[in-house]
Amino acid sequence: MPSRPAAGSSPALDSPAVGEVEPKDQQLMVALRIRPLSDLELEDGATVVAHKAGDQVVVLMDPGEDPEDPLRTHRSQEKTFIFDTVFDQQASQEDVYRATTQHLVEGVVSGYNATVFAYGPSGAGKTHTMLGTDAEPGIYLQTLTHLLRAIEETRDSADCSVSTSYLEIYNEAIRDLLNPSSGFLDLREDARGSIQIAGITEVSTSNAQEIMQLLTKGNRQHTQEPTAANQTSSRSHAVLQVTVRQRSRATNLAGAVRLGRLFMVDLAGSERASQTQNRGMRMKEGAHINRSLLALGNCINALREKGGSRAQYVNFRDSKLTRLLKDALGGNSRTVMIAHVSPASTHFEESRSTLLYAYRAKNIKTRVKRNLLKVSYHITQYTDVISDLRREIERLQCKVEKQEAQGRSEPGVQDAPGTAEHTPGASCPAWHRVRAERPARGPGTAPAPSPVGPPGVTGPAPALALTADLQRLLTLDLHRVLCPSNFPHIHHAAHALSCPRGLCDETAPIKGGGTS
């Protein structure tokens, strides 16, 4: 499963397009799932207050209502809500997938964007719906299995590739779950407002077994901690992104490429400190979760008003979560929201708040359009990156030569064995790190200064090793740019364009899709 960083190399959605169809307004689909009562709720004597009253209707009863009160109709908090579909405790994982997500798969293969996100309070069953178990797989695995099957049916007529990335938003910091050592990542917005995640790892996937390995690997890194409300409470928002690239074999290199993206989001649940009994770090995590969900709710309210007669400004910048879901809520995406509630009377307020937000989200409209990209656009992108990297390498080489010249001009300083002279323009620079032997130290001996330069040279050495590391990283980036396994035709064209005219007539080799 070759992986590659997506920063700077993944196609932008606003690239020049060919034969692009007119955007269409689509209503955001909202589904509701009511989970069964938990053992703890049954022990506490909770009663059921959320009832499915039809395929699209749910009734939330007021737990404090006295049925013999003659004035209850005037002050009752009982509410009836209508959604696109409602699932009760008898609904299976497959029922939920077929009704909410299955119809999105064909669109993603055809070049459309889609988003599915689970919303609701902590412990309402969001992770069960999205991830599921080995016996009852959730939306993640069912969607990807269906997606790969649909792509397999197009193999005879098109070249397709599927890549997956998995991240979490923890305390307003983005972390790559497939490569946690990469540190926190940044969100970047291009000139036309499309959000990109700089440095995220995308892994090519081709079968269900690889998918399960990816999910298992990512979930081991996903931040979860027990609270009084949920023994496996997610302390972060988890986002699984799937990118599908497809090019018809009947077209030439300049033909259009379809690019479809599917976001599947398991939101952390809103919390009340009095119920979760959180302290310290758990309370800090809960505050960040609630703040990001509040920003999401504000966006839903603003988008609801924007869908009416008033032009309303929508602030997506209050949270990393809302910035990441910008297209899903108000841009180019077919979006499904699956709201989750507990039927217990002890969670009446949380359920009522969730139902109100979900009901408001029904009025949100998005404008979807197929993403058809020109391959020639990306060839130009790659050659520009190659030129930038070469200029940077030349600058570093000049810097090293100056530092070496200064070092040789000092008395008593000689060239270290193992270092090599570099001539500008050489095809393969041969800088080598020289490591000095550490002198043996006996007990009580003062620590000797550790040499950092060549043998025989004390004190600060030229930044040869550091510069060599920078050059190695630049060369690695150049290799990744030139070796996109998903588009070998772009790779060959970019390689030919980057060589001096008339000096390259061979096909550039692809080595592992950019892995190091």
The domains of the chain are located at 3-370, 375-432+453-514
Task: Reply yes or no on whether the pLDDT at 212 is more than 90.
Answer: no
Place of tokens 């790892």: 201
Name the strand (E) or helix (H) holding 374.
strand 372-374
Beta strands in 57-194 (DSSP E): 57-60, 79-82, 85-87, 114-119, 158-170, 173-176, 184-189
Q: What is the structure's pLDDT at 490?
A: 54
Name which of 135-144, 226-235, 386-395 the model is least confident about: 226-235
What is the spatial distance between Cα 154 and Cα 105, in angstroms, rounded to a whole number?
13
Name which of 65-69, 200-204, 345-349 the model is least confident about: 65-69
Is there a binding annotation on residue 330?
no
Per the structure block, which two tokens stand in for 104?
A: 């999105």
Is there a binding annotation on residue 284?
no
- Please compute the mean of the pLDDT values over residues 471-490 and round it to a whole number: 54
Closest CA to 340 of 40, 116, 28: 116
Is there a binding annotation on residue 417?
no
% residues pLDDT > 70 (the chain): 64
The pairing of beta strand 114-119 with beta strand 334-341: parallel
Q: What is the structure's pLDDT at 195?
A: 84
Is there a binding annotation on residue 38?
no
What is the spatial distance between Cα 332 and Cα 22, in angstroms, rounded to a whole number?
12
Q: What is the structure's pLDDT at 372?
A: 80
Does the domain made of 3-370 have the CATH classification 3.40.850.10? yes
Decide: 433 and 468 in contact? Cβ < 8 Å. Answer: yes
Strand partners, 265: 117, 239
Name which of 13-17, 203-207, 492-496, 505-509 the model is least confident about: 13-17
Give the mean pLDDT of the chain.
Answer: 76
Query: Within its chain, how far is the Cα of 21 from the centroid?
Result: 27
Beta strands in 379-419 (DSSP E): none
Is there a binding annotation on residue 418?
no
Going by pLDDT thresholds of 50, 70 and 90, the confidence category of residue 205 is confident
Task: Reply yes or no on whether the pLDDT at 266 is more than 90.
Answer: yes
Task: Reply yes or no on whether the pLDDT at 4 is more than 50.
Answer: no
If one compares 97 and 516, the residue with the highest pLDDT of the two is: 97
Name which of 59-63, 98-102, 224-228, 438-442 the model is least confident about: 438-442
Q: What is the structure's pLDDT at 452?
A: 45
DSSP 239-270: EEEEEEEEEETTS-TTSEEEEEEEEEEEPPPB
If one compares 361 and 439, the residue with the highest pLDDT of the two is: 361
Burial status of residue 479 (CB atoms within 10 A of its CB: 0-12, 13-18, 19 or more): middle
Strand partners, 270: 121
Task: Reply yes or no on whether the pLDDT at 161 is more than 50.
Answer: yes
- Please compute the mean of the pLDDT values over residues 398-412 and round it to a whole number: 78
Name which of 39-43, 205-209, 225-229, 371-375 the model is least confident about: 225-229
Per the structure block, which two tokens stand in for 369?
A: 């359009």
Beta strands in 286-364 (DSSP E): 334-341
Is there a binding annotation on residue 419?
no
Return all residues near 96 (Cβ < 8 A) that are at least 6 apart.
31, 33, 87, 129, 139, 338
Q: What is the structure's pLDDT at 477?
A: 58
Q: What is the structure's pLDDT at 202?
A: 92
DSSP3 helix / strand / coil % (the chain, rounded to 5): 35, 20, 40
pLDDT digits (tens, 9 = 90+) for 287-315: 899 899 999 999 998 988 876 444 568 89
Task: Give the DSSP letter of residue 449.
Answer: P
Task: Reply yes or no on whether the pLDDT at 137 is more than 80.
Answer: yes
Is there a binding annotation on residue 123?
yes
Name which of 136-140, 378-382, 485-489 the model is least confident about: 485-489
Per the structure block, which two tokens stand in for 288?
A: 């960040």
Going by pLDDT thresholds of 50, 70 and 90, the confidence category of residue 502 is very low
Q: What is the structure's pLDDT at 1?
A: 45
Give backbone dihedrals phi and psi of 339, rounded to 5 degrees, phi first: -85, 145
Going by pLDDT thresholds of 50, 70 and 90, the confidence category of residue 184 is very high
H helices of 57-193, in order, are 72-75, 93-100, 102-109, 126-130, 139-152
Going by pLDDT thresholds of 50, 70 and 90, the confidence category of residue 35 is very high
Per the structure block, which two tokens stand in for 445?
A: 């001996």
If one compares 9 and 321, the residue with the highest pLDDT of the two is: 321
